[in-house]
């Protein structure tokens, strides 16, 4: 022990030990020594060695022990080793284990083995358990019988399968922190009141696992009223909420602001486009919206032209700035198409450039170069055509006389580009 007494009951010896073996600073070592009494230095040394064996660095150990010095006294064989090995079996080792334990060192002296066994018995996979641990490690410190079991039983009573429950709670474990009687059950009651059927309640929760973490009386209920006050038919609101619940969980003041903008742009509340326009604007900040407008303007489009496209296909504005630039640049350089023409078909901005647009262009180029298609066809119509129809009308129709068309459709033939013939 390099001059350190075999007994660390002396604060000065303990401070020295904490500095030399655990890497604590003088200040931290003094602070920790006031809270800790180590009668068996060999046991403490074994704890440190076990941590190093599992890939923890001196920096990790310093931070963990400084936060939770009592770990040096933990039962090695019945707590520490089993917990470390269990975490390793779930994919945590080295840097990832260090990061986790710095965040929640209490896991090492918790009843982790039994807690994990409980969740596995409920149908949770190792991958799902790892997701829970990454997102909310403190959750595993709670009592399984008192805290978790009643909530899991309640979800099953609603009609969710074991697979559903495991999926929902691994993606949104925060729900398990909520009280069953004072939060989860009242949320479900609100959803039943708003949606009308248990089937739709299950659908909306599956579409947005996070929904049960919200105060629905404070968000959803007033937002439904606001939409109705604008004349939006309830079936439109409910249908969209079931598919995209997050849009109706915004602050009511923010919802009012967005709806006012949608009305200002000329959308009719009695149409589906009104709800789509609201969602498109609600899914992003004003700053991001302005950046996207700027991206379109950089290609020579006016704000009026961008909003004209938005009125045709509101969701085209959810496309990322990076993709906007990539797609616009492709059409202008590879196909010599004017930006104003692209705005007539805003749906194109929603398609994958690499998986749909470029392969289809390669197919059309192959057909033109071999005389199977005239060069004055309306190419945009082929780009927005359904996949089933495109394959039937072009790929299958010509694959016997033009075998390379299959390769082109799979993106294995480079598209060289051609002049705009839209």
Instruction: Give the end of a domain, one of 212, 234, 261.
Output: 212
- 30 belongs to a structural domain: yes
Banded pLDDT at 5 (limits 50, 70, 90)? very low
CATH for 30 = 1.25.70.10
Distance from C-alpha of 121 to C-alpha of 204, rounded to nearest angstrom:
26
Tens digit of each residue's pLDDT (9 = 90 or more) over 262-274? 999 999 999 999 9
Which range (64-73, 184-193, 226-235, 403-412) has the least confidence? Answer: 64-73
**One domain, residues 102 and 121:** no
Q: For residue 20, is pLDDT > 80? A: no
Give me the half-sphere count of Cα atoms (radius 13 Å) on the Cβ side of residue 341: 13
Range of the domain at 157: 110-212
**One domain, residues 64 and 119:** no
User: Quick one: how far is CA 216 from the chain centroid?
Assistant: 21
Which range (243-252, 303-312, 412-421) has the least confidence? Answer: 412-421
pLDDT for 11: 62
Cβ atoms of 314 and 273 within 8 Å: the answer is yes
Distance from C-alpha of 245 to C-alpha of 229, rounded to nearest angstrom:
19
pLDDT for 9: 57
- 45 belongs to a structural domain: yes
**One domain, residues 375 and 414:** yes
Q: Which residues of 139-178 are buried (b: 16+ CB within 10 A; e: fewer)?
A: bbeeebeeebeebbebbeeeebeeebbbbbbbbbbebbee
Q: For residue 57, is pLDDT > 70? A: yes
pLDDT for 421: 47
Where in 199-261 does DSSP place strands (E)? Answer: none
Distance from C-alpha of 276 to C-alpha of 271, rounded to nearest angstrom:
9
- 413 belongs to a structural domain: yes
**One domain, residues 76 and 7:** yes
Instruction: Give the end of a domain, one of 68, 88, 109.
Output: 109
Q: Coil, helix or strand for 327? A: helix
User: Quick one: how far is CA 73 from the chain centroid?
Assistant: 39
Tens digit of each residue's pLDDT (9 = 90 or more) over 25-34? 777 777 777 7
pLDDT for 73: 82
Tokens coding 231: 């004349």
- 236 belongs to a structural domain: no
**One domain, residues 131 and 155:** yes
Cβ atoms of 422 and 337 within 8 Å: the answer is yes
Helix axes 11-22, 26-33, angle to 10 degrees: 130
CA angle 238, 243, 247 (to 5 degrees): 75
Instruction: Give the DSSP H/E element, type plus range, for residue 190.
Output: helix 185-195
Which range (62-66, 235-239, 300-304, 323-327) has the least confidence? Answer: 62-66
Q: For residue 419, is pLDDT > 80? A: no
Instruction: Give the end of a domain, one of 109, 126, 144.
Output: 109
pLDDT for 8: 55
**One domain, residues 205 and 126:** yes
Q: What is the mean pLDDT of residues 157-172?
A: 95
Q: How many domains does the chain have?
A: 3
Report how far apart, in Å, the C-alpha atoms of 102 and of each of 68, 105, 112, 384 are. 9, 6, 16, 51
Distance from C-alpha of 343 to C-alpha of 152, rounded to nearest angstrom:
49
Cβ atoms of 238 and 244 within 8 Å: the answer is no
**One domain, residues 116 and 102:** no
- 293 belongs to a structural domain: no
Distance from C-alpha of 302 to C-alpha of 195, rounded to nearest angstrom:
41
Q: What is the mean pLDDT of residues 169-175?
A: 94
- 153 belongs to a structural domain: yes
């Amino acid at each position: 022990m390099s001059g350190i007494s075999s007994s660390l009951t002396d604060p000065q010896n303990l401070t020295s030990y904490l500095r030399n073996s655990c890497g604590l600073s003088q200040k931290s070592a003094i602070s920790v020594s006031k809270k800790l009494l180590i009668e068996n230095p060999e046991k403490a040394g074994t704890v440190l060695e076990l941590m190093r064996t599992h890939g923890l660095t001196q920096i990790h150990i310093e931070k963990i022990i400084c936060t939770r010095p009592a770990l040096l006294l933990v039962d090695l064989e019945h707590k520490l080793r089993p917990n470390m090995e269990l975490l390793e079996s779930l994919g945590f080792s080295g840097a990832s284990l260090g990061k986790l334990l710095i965040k929640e060192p209490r896991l090492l002296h918790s009843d982790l083995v039994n807690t994990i066994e409980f969740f596995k018995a409920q149908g949770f996979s190792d991958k799902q358990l790892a997701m829970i641990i990454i997102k909310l490690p403190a959750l595993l410190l709670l009592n399984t019988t008192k805290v978790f079991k009643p909530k899991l039983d309640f979800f099953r009573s609603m009609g969710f399968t074991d697979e559903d429950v495991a999926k929902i709670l691994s993606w949104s474990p925060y729900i398990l922190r909520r009280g069953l009687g004072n939060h989860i059950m009242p949320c479900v009651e609100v959803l039943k009141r708003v949606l009308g059927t248990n089937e739709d309640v299950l659908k909306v929760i599956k579409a947005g696992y996070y929904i049960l973490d919200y105060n629905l009386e404070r968000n959803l209920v007033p937002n439904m009223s606001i939409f109705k006050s604008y004349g939006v038919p309830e079936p439109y609101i409910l249908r969209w909420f079931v598919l995209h619940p997050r849009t109706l969980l915004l602050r009511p003041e923010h919802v009012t602001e967005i709806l006012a903008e949608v009305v200002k742009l000329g959308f009719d509340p009695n149409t589906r486009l009104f709800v789509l326009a609201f969602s498109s604007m609600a899914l992003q900040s004003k700053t991001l919206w302005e950046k996207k407008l700027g991206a379109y303007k950089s290609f020579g489009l006016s704000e009026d032209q961008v909003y004209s496209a938005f009125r045709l296909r509101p969701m085209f504005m959810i496309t990322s700035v990076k993709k906007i630039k990539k797609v616009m640049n492709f059409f202008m350089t590879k196909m010599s198409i004017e930006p104003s023409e692209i705005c007539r078909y805003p749906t194109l901005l929603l398609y994958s450039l690499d998986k749909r647009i470029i392969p289809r262009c390669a197919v059309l180029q192959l057909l033109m170069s071999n005389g199977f298609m005239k060069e004055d066809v309306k190419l945009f119509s082929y780009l927005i055509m359904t996949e089933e129809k495109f394959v039937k009308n072009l790929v299958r129709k010509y694959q016997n006389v033009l075998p390379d068309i299959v390769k082109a459709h799979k993106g294995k033939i480079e598209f060289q580009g051609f002049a705009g013939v839209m």
